[in-house]
């Protein structure tokens, strides 16, 4: 039994190490993890563990809403694919909570495995981009999607994992890095620079705000001076390499919001990240308003993308060039998990998602670092359909569950 428990523990570490990069491998590892959880402890212990973690029901309810969306879809194949893709959101909470209880030390090790994965992946991205730079002399390889594409990751999704890693380092500073302060600041600086290079505007701004707020609240005077040095170093990096980064932020200031008032668009209508998203969100509201019962139950998980394609064509948005195998915006999702849920599963789905997120935030509110991590992920859902990608759904589920289990262990220690 002890060997099974050890194998179960290491299977969770494997899931934590691989989810940012390898979706198929990660899915297999999740399945193995669930199998090991199932045999790692007796049934009566599983039942007791489940009863002590009632929050699991909100993950299950959210997934059941996706099942309702399957029956509300005419494209059953697409709906089934989405159910499979989000399966980890139902499986991980049940099996992690019901399996052999993880100690606080084990949870810390698993969460720091996420940090290690990001550090290694980020270093690989920068090194590979460096090779490309020496070959092509184009500094753009160090920024945004060109940087993350070195390992097949999405820049914005990977930014969230990087931000999560920053706050996990801060959370475990006193437990791991008290005797290794220099190493702590080196790792923190690397992650901060990586986050800047990935250039996700919202994640960077929210992370910076929460980071500074926690410094003022949490750390001592001597540590605040060290943080000031860290911020200065990062500022110098930004000034030296800021060309590619500043271009990402210039659109915040230079907005052409007049295009939002157009009834129809042309293929060359200038749309940036913000105006394109608002256009998508308006399309969702218009679509649901035109069909009976759609506002309550959505158009179905399997029919949402085809509904969007028709709406994009009707709006005159760029739909690509078949000769160049360019599909334009045809495969773009809504770019907001909240609007995505509203489109697929209506108000029912949106309420299920909001209750799930509110529950998780409520449980984590006593730990500033855990709350900050989950708040960043919740804000990420404002501008990205984060749960529609494997990396996003597993990030949200795995980190949420582990932070809640860590909170439970803390309560037991205090009790």
Q: What pLDDT does 271 receive?
A: 77
Q: Give the percent of the chain with pLDDT over 70.
A: 87
Task: Name the H helices within 199-256.
Answer: 201-218, 221-253
Has residue 272 got a pLDDT over 90? Answer: no
CA 263 to centroid of chain Cα atoms: 33
Q: Give the percent of the chain with pLDDT over 90.
A: 66
The tokens describing 323, both together, are 């000769």
Instruction: Give the whole-angstrom CA distance, residue 287 versus residue 349.
Output: 16
Has residue 207 got a pLDDT over 70? Answer: yes
pLDDT (tens digit per residue) in 93-113: 999 999 999 999 999 999 999
Instruction: Give the whole-angstrom CA distance, residue 94 versus residue 82.
Output: 19
pLDDT (tens digit per residue) in 223-254: 555 666 666 656 655 555 555 555 555 555 55
- When pLDDT is averaged across residues 146-167 and rounded to a whole number, the result is 96
User: 39-53, 114-128, 284-298: lowest mean pLDDT where?
Assistant: 284-298
The more confident residue out of 318 and 130 is 130
Q: Is 233 exposed, middle or buried (0-12, 13-18, 19+ CB in 10 A)?
A: middle
At a CB cut-off of 8 Å and minimum separation 6, what does 332 contact? 280, 308, 312
- CA-to-CA dists, residue 93 to 30, 36, 114, 147, 187, angstroms: 11, 14, 18, 32, 30
Q: What pLDDT does 364 receive?
A: 93
Q: What pLDDT does 318 receive?
A: 80
Q: Please state whether the predicted TM-score (pTM) of the whole model is above 0.85.
A: yes
pLDDT (tens digit per residue) in 320-354: 777 777 888 889 999 999 999 999 999 999 999 99
Has residue 59 got a pLDDT over 80? Answer: yes
Q: What pLDDT does 398 receive?
A: 98
pLDDT (tens digit per residue) in 167-188: 999 999 878 777 788 899 899 9
Strand, helix or coil at 52? Answer: coil
Has residue 37 got a pLDDT over 80? Answer: yes
Q: What pLDDT does 226 receive?
A: 60
The more confident residue out of 81 and 291 is 81
Average pLDDT, whole number, for the chain? 88
- When pLDDT is averaged across residues 387-400 and rounded to a whole number, the result is 97
The conformational region for residue 154 under phi > 0 = left, psi -120 to 50 = alpha, else beta, is: beta
- When pLDDT is averaged across residues 48-66 and rounded to a whole number, the result is 96
At a CB cut-off of 8 Å and minimum separation 6, what does 30 contact? 15, 88, 91, 92, 394
Instruction: Give the whole-angstrom CA distance, residue 227 versus residue 233.
Output: 10
Has residue 71 got a pLDDT over 90? Answer: yes
């Amino acid at each position: 039994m002890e060997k099974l428990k050890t194998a179960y523990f290491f299977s969770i570490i494997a899931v934590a190490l691989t989810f940012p990069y390898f979706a198929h491998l990660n899915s297999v590892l999740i399945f193995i993890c669930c199998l090991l959880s199932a045999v790692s402890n007796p049934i009566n212990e599983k039942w007791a563990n489940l009863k002590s973690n009632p929050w699991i029901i909100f993950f299950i309810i959210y997934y059941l809403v996706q099942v309702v969306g399957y029956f509300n879809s005419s494209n059953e194949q697409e709906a089934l694919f989405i159910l499979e893709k989000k399966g980890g959101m139902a499986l991980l909470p049940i099996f992690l909570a019901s399996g052999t209880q993880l100690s606080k030390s084990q949870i810390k090790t698993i969460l720091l495995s996420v940090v290690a994965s990001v550090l290694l992946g980020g270093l690989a991205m920068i090194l590979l981009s460096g090779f490309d730079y020496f070959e092509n002399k184009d500094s753009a390889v160090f920024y945004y999607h060109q940087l993350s594409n070195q390992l097949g990751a999405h820049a914005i999704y990977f930014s969230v994992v990087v931000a999560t890693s920053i706050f996990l380092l801060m959370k475990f500073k006193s437990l791991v890095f008290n005797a290794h302060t220099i190493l702590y600041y080196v790792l923190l600086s690397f992650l901060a620079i990586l986050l800047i290079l990935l250039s996700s505007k919202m994640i960077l701004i929210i992370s910076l705000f929460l980071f500074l707020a926690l410094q003022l609240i949490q750390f001592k005077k001597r540590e605040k001076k060290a943080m000031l040095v860290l911020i200065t170093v990062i500022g110098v990096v930004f000034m030296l390499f800021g060309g590619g980064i500043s271009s990402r932020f210039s659109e915040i200031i230079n907005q052409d919001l007049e295009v939002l008032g157009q009834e129809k668009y042309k293929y060359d209508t200038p749309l940036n990240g913000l105006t394109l998203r608002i256009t998508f969100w308006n399309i969702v509201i218009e679509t649901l308003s035109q069909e009976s019962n759609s506002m309550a139950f959505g158009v179905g998980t399997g029919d949402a993308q085809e509904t969007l394609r028709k709406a994009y064509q009707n709006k005159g948005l760029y739909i690509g060039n078949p000769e160049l195998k360019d599909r334009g915006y045809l495969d773009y999702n809504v770019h907001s998990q909240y609007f995505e849920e509203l489109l697929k599963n209506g108000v029912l789905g949106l309420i299920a998602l909001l209750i799930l997120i509110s529950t998780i935030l409520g449980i984590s509110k006593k730990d500033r670092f855990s709350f900050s991590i989950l708040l960043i992920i919740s804000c990420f859902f404002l501008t990205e359909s984060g749960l529609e990608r494997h990396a996003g759904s597993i990030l949200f589920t795995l980190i949420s569950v582990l932070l809640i289990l860590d909170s439970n262990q803390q309560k037991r220690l205090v009790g």
